[in-house]
């Protein structure tokens, strides 16, 4: 497993947090996703053999948020 922190922009409420957590948590290879509204980030534990960091960022962006 690898861990990464992805900066997330555009979150305004706990609904946003749940949305992003659900998107990331539903991806193959993601072991956990801890999304923080206060920190503006998502801490993700993932299997690099199953999913890339770029795919995680793309999933957040596809959900309507900014990610880097």
Section 54-59 average pLDDT: 97
- Domains, the chain, with CATH or none: 2-67 (3.30.70.100)
Residue among 68, 48, 46, 43 nearest 57 (CA): 68
Average of per-residue pLDDT across 34-62? 97
Alpha-carbon gap, residue 64 to 45, rounded angstroms: 22
Q: In the beta sheet, which residues pair with residue 46?
A: 2, 30
Strand partners, 6: 42
Q: Which single residue is written with the structure tokens 């555009």? A: 10
CA 40 – CA 27 distance, rounded (Å): 20
Q: How does pLDDT run across 18-39, given as a tens digit for each residue?
A: 999 999 999 999 999 999 999 9
Condensed to tens digits (0 to 9), the pLDDT of residues 2-18 reads 999 999 999 999 999 99
């Amino acid at each position: 497993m690898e861990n990464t922190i992805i900066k997330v922009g555009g979150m305004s409420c706990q609904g946003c947090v749940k949305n992003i957590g659900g998107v990331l948590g539903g991806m193959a290879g993601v072991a956990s996703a801890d999304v923080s509204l206060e920190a503006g980030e998502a801490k993700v534990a993932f299997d690099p053999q199953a999913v890339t960091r770029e795919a995680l960022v793309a999933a957040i962006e596809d959900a309507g948020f900014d990610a880097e």
